[in-house]
Amino acid sequence: MDEASPKKKNDFFSKIESREDALKLVKDTSNAFFFIAVLQAALAYWIGLSTLFDAALYAVGGFFVRRFNSRAAAVTLLLLALVAAGVTIENRAGANLGGGGNIVLAVIVVWAGVRAVEATFKLHSRFMQRDANEHPSA
């Protein structure tokens, strides 16, 4: 490995320093939402068919984040993840609100939402647009 360009160990936790970093993070977070959608669709038989609705929202939101770098879709996915995390915590506390009880998975989904929001907003910022056009500031 060249010492002049060190490889980041984990892009899911690293700082977004360029447009390429933001685009890679958009791809990684959308992949995470696609995985969650597939997982929820597969587990809908045991958890409840209402999770199919969540799975569809995660899949559609992940598509819009990936295809259009949509800030609205990223924010919507974050809000959905926060609600799902709240339901998960309530289920672990003894309520029966439907849905699962895996807190680790809920935290991962919320973190994916936070990073998707960060990446999409940075992609639309003036800094990233200037970086894309290769016009250095005066």
Residue range 96-113, pLDDT digits in tens: 887 778 899 999 999 999
Give phi and psi for 100, each to the nearest 5: -95, -170
Overall average pLDDT of the 115-138 stretch: 77
72: number of Cβ within 10 Å? 12
Q: What CA–CA distance (Å, rounded) separates 13 from 120?
A: 15
CA-wise closest residue to 120 among 78, 58, 81: 78
By the 8 A CB rule, do 40 and 55 touch? yes
- The pTM (predicted TM-score) of the whole model is 0.85
Long-range contacts of 5-14 (CB under 8 A, 24+ apart): 12/111, 12/112, 12/115
Give the per-residue pLDDT at 132.
Answer: 62
Residues comprising the chain, all counted = 138
- Per-residue pLDDT band for 50 (boundaries 50, 70, 90) equals confident
By the 8 A CB rule, do 30 and 36 touch? no
CA-wise closest residue to 87 among 75, 107, 101, 72: 101
Q: What CA–CA distance (Å, rounded) separates 133 from 58?
A: 32
CA distances from 14 to 5, 22, 25, 30, 124 (A): 15, 10, 9, 17, 19
